[in-house]
Amino acid sequence: MSKLENQYSAKDEVATVFIRRTFFQRALITLKKAPFTAWLGMTIVFIYIFVAVFAPLIAPYGEAQIFKVPYAPWDEIHVFGTDRLGRDILSRLIYGARNTMGIAILTTLLAFIIGGGLGLLAAILRGWIDQFLARFVDILMAIPSLIFALMLLSIFGSTAFNLIIIIAILDSTRVFRLSRAVGMNVAVMEYVEAARLRGEKIGWIMGREILPNILPPLVAEFGLRFCYVFLMIASLSFLGVGIQPPTADWGSMVRETGELIQYAQYDITAAMTPILPAAAIGILTIGVNFVVDWFLYLTSGLKDEHK
Amino acid sequence: MHPIVATLIKRIGLGIVSLFFVSLIIFSSLNLLPGDFVEAVLGQSRTEETVATFRKELGLDKPFHIRYVNWLSAAVQGDLGSTFSGRNASYANQPQQSTARTVTSLLKPRLYNTFFLAAMTALIAVPLSLFLGITAALYRNTFYDRTVNASALATISMPEFFVAYILIICLASIYQFFPSLSNVTSSTPFFERVYLSILPALTLTLVTVAHMMRMTRAAIINLLSSPYIEMAQLKGLSRSKVILEHALPNAWAPIANIIAFNLAYLIVGVVVVEVVFVYPGVGQLMVDSVIKRDIPVVQGCALVFALTYISLNLIADVISIITNPRLLYPK
């Protein structure tokens, strides 16, 4: 190193030894540089996943276990009291993490398989398939998705299976648009052309040539889509047409305990009962958003106006 | 032809085409119903005759395209058919005089209520978010900007019912300023109606302002960093002149899009908020009908929402076409 910190010297650059780091080491270095919000987001997400995975071990009581006292106050036996039927709120919150997040992740995955697959297919094949799919998606997107979901649920009925399929299909339209747009940029590259001339199958071109190169925006989109799907399922459950009882789910928990809100002036803890699941939804969304923001910042190289 | 007129015609044509396809989807959704839905609706008390009469009344004995054309021409004239509710028992006894109400009679008063709520929210939210967005862009990376941004991110991530319940706890329960139930009727006088709708309007405002403000801020920052603005500044023009005469003409299009996008979001957010505050609007009607599986009403509501959504987007695009300086002065 020369004496002046900022001075550039070709000799120095040549002289530095290139350190080969493992993936784990590189990840560690990136993590060390992560801003506070990213750490906060990752902690939140990690806690939620932990609670969801180990729900039966953490929860004091069963998911649908009924106790004698309905609307029990907050005390040592029931930390957050019980609901209308006498089910322990804390246990239902913990099981709710599993049910609500599980369904949301499943839906988002399905949306990415449908939307991403068709998007890449449209980007590679072009021609009428591309035109047909793109116009079809335009039409589907002309109806607000919550309204569309409500309509379809009224026809097919509100079961968890229908919920997952309907929201996944509605949400796949946005994934389709993104993967088609970024896929188009990669599909015209020489190496894709080379793969095609080698006679590779379309599945290989999609999975091995294009997909690795568009992964960062898709991963970021996965986080944002997850938030969106999560909020949508919560809203639908809150409206009473989403996840059906007795499955513990945060949206329907807010609905079931909503009337307690009027007693806020007498007993603030009672009024907090519907707030707890609603806050659980909000905090996870914020956490995921923080992580996605940081991830986008890292991968896009788009440091927008933060200079 | 002037390029603006040509672009406008193209855009409006596209809007009509998408409206047509949306109506087709909404109509054909009825045919997706698994099983024979006539028998499902009439229930246990059905006879061969009532099933046949009901099927004929719905026109299910005709082919699909004729039914669609009939339905569409009726819908354009404001007739969306009759509801299913109250159909099973009474219909089986007296098929001639069915007691079912028309969808339009259910929708009409509620439509007014919903638009009232949406308009009230828009009147508060749009000026507020434009002000916050523009000031945050002008004073960017200051403490003010960061505070506004952080609170915006927080409200975006919260579900509507969370915001609504917090407002109820603070403003309707602990301090009883406003009622937590917005049970307006058609005879409610205007000012009382405003008073009853304050909490739902406030909830919707909080949810939409965050998004609108962030998008306005991004649009303005994007614009202020473009070379021609720098050029105007270097020429020595005053700050207000740069913003009003150089930046604003190009900002109308993004701002119009942002507002329309959020008003469109508003009509979706209205569903949840109406249910929380028991506000008698279209959203509540739709949710009730979904639970009862009263499909003609659901279709009617979906059509109304889709129509509003598409027209708002159309209006935004028309505004951005009309105000586009590049199209105003063709070469």
Q: Do A241 and B162 touch (CB under 8 A)?
A: no
Higher pLDDT, B81 or A205: A205
pLDDT higher than threshold 80 for residue B267: no
Rounded to the nearest angstrom, the minimum Cα separation between B249 and chain A is 22
Residue B38 banded pLDDT, cuts 50, 70, 90? low
Contacts of B153 in chain A (CB under 8 A): 286, 289
- For A280, other C-beta atoms within 10 Å of its C-beta total 22
Q: Do A261 and B169 touch (CB under 8 A)?
A: yes
Kindly state whether A150 is in contact with chain B, defined as any CB-CB distance less than 8 angstroms: yes
What does the angle CA B115 – CA B120 – CA B124 come to, to the nearest 5 degrees?
Answer: 145
Task: Please tell me the predicted confidence (pLDDT) of residue A176.
Answer: 93
Q: Give, for A31, the enclosing helix (H) or strand (E).
A: helix A23-32
Task: Please tell me the predicted confidence (pLDDT) of residue A14.
Answer: 67
Q: Do A144 and B306 touch (CB under 8 A)?
A: yes
Find the CB nearest A278 among B162, B174, B293.
B162
Q: What is the mean pLDDT of residues B241-253?
A: 81
What does the angle CA B261 – CA A141 – CA B162 come to, to the nearest 5 degrees?
Answer: 55
Distance CA A254, CA A83 (A): 11
ipTM of model: 0.81
The SS3 assignment for B102 reads strand
Residue B35 banded pLDDT, cuts 50, 70, 90? low
pLDDT higher than threshold 60 for residue B91: no
Report if pTM > 0.80.
yes
Task: Please tell me the predicted confidence (pLDDT) of residue A13.
Answer: 67
> Taking the CA of residue B205 as centre, how many other CA atoms within 13 Å lie in the half-sphere pointing to its CB?
20
Kindly state whether A153 is in contact with chain B, defined as any CB-CB distance less than 8 angstroms: yes
Cβ atoms of residues A298 and A30 within 8 Å: yes
Distance CA A207, CA A130 (A): 18
Task: Please tell me the predicted confidence (pLDDT) of residue A179.
Answer: 92
Kindly state whether A238 is in contact with chain B, defined as any CB-CB distance less than 8 angstroms: yes
Closest CA to B176 of B194, B155, B199, B160: B199
The rounded mean pLDDT for chain A is 84
Q: Specify which of A80-94, A153-167, B79-93 reaches the highest per-range mean pLDDT.
A: A153-167
Q: Do A144 and B275 touch (CB under 8 A)?
A: no
Q: Specify which of A69-73, A103-107, A289-293, B199-203 reaches the highest per-range mean pLDDT.
A: A103-107
A175 CB-near residues (< 8 Å, 6+ apart): A111, A112, A114, A115, A116, A119, A221, A225
Closest CA to A253 of A228, A268, A272: A272
pLDDT digits (tens, 9 = 90+) for B204-234: 898 888 888 888 888 888 888 888 888 988 9
Distance CA A299, CA A303 (A): 10
A301: left (phi over 0), alpha (psi -120 to 50) or beta: left
pLDDT digits (tens, 9 = 90+) for B159-185: 888 888 888 888 877 777 777 777 777
The SS3 assignment for A88 reads strand
Residue A263 banded pLDDT, cuts 50, 70, 90? confident
pLDDT higher than threshold 80 for residue B46: no
pLDDT digits (tens, 9 = 90+) for B106-160: 888 888 888 888 889 989 998 998 888 888 887 877 888 888 888 887 787 788 8
